[in-house]
Amino acid sequence: MDFSLTAEHEMTQKMVRDFAQKEVAPIIREWDRKQEMAPEILPRMAELGILGICLPVRYGGQGMDFISLGLACEELEAVDSTLRVTMSVHVGLSSLTLLQWGTEAQKEEFLIPLAKGEKIGCGAFSEPGVGSDVANIQTTAKLDGSDYVLNGEKMWISLASKADYALLTARTDFEPERPTDALSCFIVDLKSKGVSTGDIKGKLGVRAGSTGWISLQDVRVPKESLVGEAGEGFKITMSGFDSGRYTVAAGATGLIRACVEASVAYANERKTFGRSIADYQLVQAKIARMAQDYEIARLLYLKVGWLKNQAVRNTLETSMAKQFATDASFAAASDAIAVHGGYGYSDEYPVERYLRNSRGAMIYEGTNEIHSLIQAGYALGTRKDRPLRREMPAYEEDLWHSN
């Protein structure tokens, strides 16, 4: 067993950190206040290859491994959650899902521009009335000649208004044997006729990001847009979550780290009753807790990254990492505000933004309550992994680096 990062990992970490700290950290407060995404961020992340970090070179990616993806997410969210959200939907939900389930033709047409960052992808699963209960999706896709015709509403979709493509789950079977057989996945060009999108304002957090809705009215997509087979939509969506949740876990770990760093800096700087507040044991207890949670969250996500590199199914481990890190990041941000006192409550300091940003990740990609159920299912033996028709490939030199 070897816990050390390779030189490759360390350089990746430093590169993404430098980008986030130098280019985003100085401007993030302003864009968070404006509730808009800074326009230069997606093009910069594309240019630097971050948007295609762990996709094979032959599909336009950078050929790094899954651990690198996690490390990048940690660094991004240590500056702002919205940067990591981009990775979750663009890399996790859309690109990696296409890598796992897409046909060669779909990879050629959609994955390559996504991995190069020329196009932006998102994952369109949730609906106004459907969140974690994916099997209940109401958006419909009906075969009409050589096209599917899509109708419905998608809600809480990160990058809805910025993305070019959506990996979208819709109902194709209206009398299924099992509810989960009802669904299919599509890769949809959001420029298609009948698609409209918009942003949701007034969110508690991730304000410098884009979260929105997608409305589909008689949208015709060729039947080659079907990802996987008809009826595989539930499994594909769940595979997408195995990728997306990993980025959420790694990102939340970065948020905890940001809380530790901000709290340590402030505790050393601030004096009350003539002493540095770092001398007070109740402040120390909070910092110790954050530091411990950071370490735990990091071990969890890095293990998932390692499992992914070996192509070992990791639904359980990913669920644990996601739930633990996001719960801990919320607690860490709350404690960081306590350490900062009144200043922590205003946006003079970043910790109030950390708190607002942390809360969403306990809801999306499966609420943390759902994650408890998943984990209990594995523990009680009521839930078991079954082999998938298409597994995510292992990180292997040949597949990832050859042209």
Partner 1 sequence: MNIVVCVKQTTDTAATLSVVDGEASYGDAALVLNPWDEYAVEQALLTKEAEGGKVTALCLGPDSAEDALKQALAMGCDEAVLILDAVFESADTLVVSRALAAGIEKLDPPELVFFGKSAVDSDTGVMGPQVARRLGWPSLNLVAAIPELDASAKTITVERLLEEGRQIVSGRLPAVVSVVKEINEPRYPSFMGIRKASKAEIPRWSAADVGLSGQIQPALSWPEILAPEKSEAVCELIEGGDASEIARKLVDRLVEEKVI
Partner 2 sequence: MVIVYIDHFDGRAVPASWEALNVGRGLAEELGSEIKAVVLGSDVEGIAQEAKDYGAGEVFLADLKVLEHFRPEVYTEAVTQIVQEQGAEIVLFPTTGRARELAGMLAIDLDTGVTPDVVAVELEGSVVVATRPIYAGKLLTKEVNQARRPQILTTRSRSFQPPEKGTGGEGVITRLELELSEPATEVQGYKESNRGTSLSDAAIIVSGGRGTSNNPSLKPPPEITDEKEQEIWRAHQGFELIGELAKVLGAAVGASRAAVDAGFIPYANQVGQTGKVVSPDLYIACGISGAIQHLAGMRTSKTIVAINKDPDAPIYKLARFGVVGDLFEIVPALTEALREKLDKA
Give the residue numbers annotated as catalytic, written as ranges.
365
* 78: contact with partner 1 by CB under 8 A: no
* 280: contact with partner 2 by CB under 8 A: no
**Do 106 and 234 contact (CB within 8 A), yes or no?**
no
Nearer to partner 2 by C-beta: 26 or 128?
26
Choose the contact partner of 343 out of partner 2, partner 1, none; CB within 5 to 8 A by kind: partner 2
Output the smallest distance, CB 321 to partner 2, in A.
34
Q: How far apart are CA 150 and CA 391, in angstroms?
A: 27
Q: How far apart are CA 228 and CA 135, in angstroms?
A: 17
**Binding residues for partner 2 restricted to 165-204, rule: CB under 8 A:** none
CB burial of 166-204 (b: ≥16 within 10 Å; e: otherwise) equals: bbbbbbbbeeeeeebbbbbbbbbbbeeeebebebeeebe
* 19: contact with partner 2 by CB under 8 A: no
Total residues interacting with partner 1, rule: CB under 8 A: 17
Instruction: Mark residues 316-345: x for contact with partner 2 by CB under 8 A, - for none.
Output: ---------------------------x--
**Do 267 and 276 contact (CB within 8 A), yes or no?**
yes
Choose the contact partner of 203 out of partner 2, partner 1, none; CB within 5 to 8 A by kind: none
For 198, 242, 304, 305, 320, the CA distances from 314, given in Å and listed in that order, are: 34, 7, 7, 9, 10
Name 189's bridge partners.
165
* 265: contact with partner 1 by CB under 8 A: no
Nearer to partner 1 by C-beta: 389 or 401?
401
**Do 254 and 74 contact (CB within 8 A), yes or no?**
yes
Question: Phi first, then psi: what are they for 388, rounded to 5°?
Answer: -100, 155
**Binding residues for partner 2 restricted to 116-155, rule: CB under 8 A:** none
Q: Which of 266, 301, 330, 395 binds partner 2 (CB under 8 A)?
A: 266
Instruction: Return residues touching partner 1 (CB under 8 A).
Output: 6-8, 11-12, 14-15, 18-19, 48-49, 53, 62-64, 68, 401
